[in-house]
Amino acid sequence: MFTRLSGKILAALLGAVSLSLGLGAVASRAAEDAVVIPAPAIDEAGKSGIETAVFAGGCFWGVQGVFQHVKSVKSAVSGYAGGEAATAQYETVSTGTTGHAESVKVTFDPRQVTYGKLLQVFFSVAHNPTQLNFQGPDQGTQYRSALFISDPEQRRVAEAYVAQLDKAHVFKQPIVTKITDYTGFYPAEQYHQDFLTLNPTYPYIAYNDLPKIKNLKQIFPADYRQEPVLVLKAKG
């Protein structure tokens, strides 16, 4: 199973080496299978304007990549949430001692795509919400499943949906996703942004994350868009 490298080694590797894999065999295997789940029975209603939501579900590369392919998402930025600004750096967060989780901040228009729909995608294809403090090969509290809630309506929808899914036993194990108040989000280093799109042949991406994009397209065809909304393109 492919694991991630430290930030310094990864940056050097990406700058010096162009990896080329036979993706047909590798990308067809996913560390975690998607689960088809029902839509939330309770969702936001009547919201207008631009909304943000922060999701944590293992390595932020794959979570960001999934949300960047969801229609009507305005942006999806990889970063850190749950800890202090002073410790929001990759090498420090990777120690598992900062309180941060690798997270993705999603900006969206709730009139076009609801928070409930984003939760459905998150629980179904973006990660496995039954794994406590790990996702696939990644171990530690920085890889925990968590929702950082921006307002009471998001909390109402999230808590109701977790209860709905657990009651329906759609997963083999109970959902362990932490629902906690938003206290701040700190964007990750530039080399982490758009990582899935920019490095599709990187072994970790090919094995763990490209299947998530395939599952998104298959399970949510009406919500899938071929061209992702990229952070670096938006800045440019």
pLDDT in tens, 137-177: 999 999 999 999 999 999 999 999 999 999 999 999 999 99
Round the average pLDDT of the chain to a whole number and report it. Answer: 89
| HSE-CB for 232 with a 13 A CA cutoff | 11
Q: Where are the beta strands (DSSP E) in 1-130?
A: 51-57, 73-81, 101-108
pTM for this structure?
0.89
Distance between the two ends of the chain, CA-based, in angstroms?
Answer: 35
The pLDDT assigned to 70 comes to 98
List the 51-57 sheet strands across, edge first. 178-181, 145-149, 51-57, 101-108, 73-81, 185-187
pLDDT at 189 over 90: yes
pLDDT at 211 over 80: yes
pLDDT at 4 over 70: no
The pLDDT assigned to 22 comes to 34
d(CA 69, CA 67): 5
The confidence band for 46, taking pLDDT boundaries of 50, 70 and 90, is confident
The confidence band for 18, taking pLDDT boundaries of 50, 70 and 90, is very low
The pLDDT assigned to 234 comes to 61
The confidence band for 8, taking pLDDT boundaries of 50, 70 and 90, is very low
The pLDDT assigned to 232 comes to 84
* Domain range list for the chain: 48-235
The pLDDT assigned to 24 comes to 36
Residues annotated as catalytic are 59
User: How do strand 51-57 and strand 73-81 relate by DSSP bridges?
Assistant: unpaired
pLDDT at 107 over 50: yes
Domain 48-235 belongs to what topology? Peptide Methionine Sulfoxide Reductase; Chain A (3.30.1060)
Is there a contact between 23 and 206 (Cβ–Cβ < 8 Å)?
Answer: yes
- Cβ of 49: how many Cβ atoms within 10 Å? 7
